[in-house]
Amino acid sequence: MFKAVIFDWDGTLANTKVAILISFHKALELISYQVPDEYIERRIGIGAADTFRGILKSAGMSVDEEIVRKLVELKSLAQIQLSNQVHLFFGAKELLEVLQGKVKLGLASMNNRSVIMDLLKRNNIVNCFDAVLTIESVSYSKPDPEIFLKVAHELGVVPSDCVVLEDSLFGVKAAKTAGMSCVAVTTGVYSKQELYVERPDLIVESLADPRILRFLLNNSGLW
């Protein structure tokens, strides 16, 4: 039975795409180099540092970790300044409220903690989660399962009793590799067909889809 639900943030609980794109482009002004929006979009979920490393390589530049650190810092600062452009997806807050007290709730994001905590506070949902882990808490980015396994450990729940809600291929793969169930949502940049390849247990178009609660709570013995 499910004892914990672990949420991704970007593209799953909140529509952050515009803010992420603008903040990446703003940071890239440091190295006078730009990439197409799609390049960034398809890498949301692996962490800014890995994305910047890939950009530096594609530009034929050396991957200087001090430059990477500065780029991540600039991107985080810019994204916080754009917090008014970030909105919870329809059904997100309601889903969190319904699950309160029924299962443990965790958040596992490859974004930076300063960004995530600012957005959780602005949306008045910081107290919804029993554990919040970000890129700073792990050595490996999704699709490595490290962050999901660490959230489960903090929640005191074994992986098989956890279900993850994710929007990216990286996240779904990480969840399944961790031995967890997974609900995939098409609110990010990936299509239903793309997500299906990673074999999530359920694919929905919205967090308001009643099938989510049926899946979560039926398997928790609460319905």
Tens digit of pLDDT for each residue in 135-158?
999 999 999 999 999 999 999 999
Chain segment 107-117, per-residue pLDDT in tens: 999 999 999 99
Burial of 70 (0-12, 13-18, 19+ CB in 10 A): middle
Contact present, 128 and 149 (Cβ < 8 Å): no
Contact present, 164 and 140 (Cβ < 8 Å): no
Whether the per-residue pLDDT at 174 is higher than 70: the answer is yes
Whether the per-residue pLDDT at 221 is higher than 60: the answer is no
Domains, the chain, in order of start with CATH, read 4-16+86-218 (3.40.50.1000), 17-84 (1.10.150)
Supply the pLDDT for residue 223.
Answer: 40
Question: Which candidate, 89, 140, 133, places its Cα nearest to that of 113?
Answer: 133
β-bridge pairing 162-166 and 181-185:
parallel
> Distance (Å, rounded) from C-alpha 32 to C-alpha 68?
14
Burial of 181 (0-12, 13-18, 19+ CB in 10 A): buried
Q: What is the pTM of this model?
A: 0.94
Chain segment 52-100, per-residue pLDDT in tens: 999 999 999 999 999 999 999 999 999 999 999 999 999 999 999 999 9
Supply the pLDDT for residue 156.
Answer: 98
> Distance (Å, rounded) from C-alpha 176 to C-alpha 29?
37
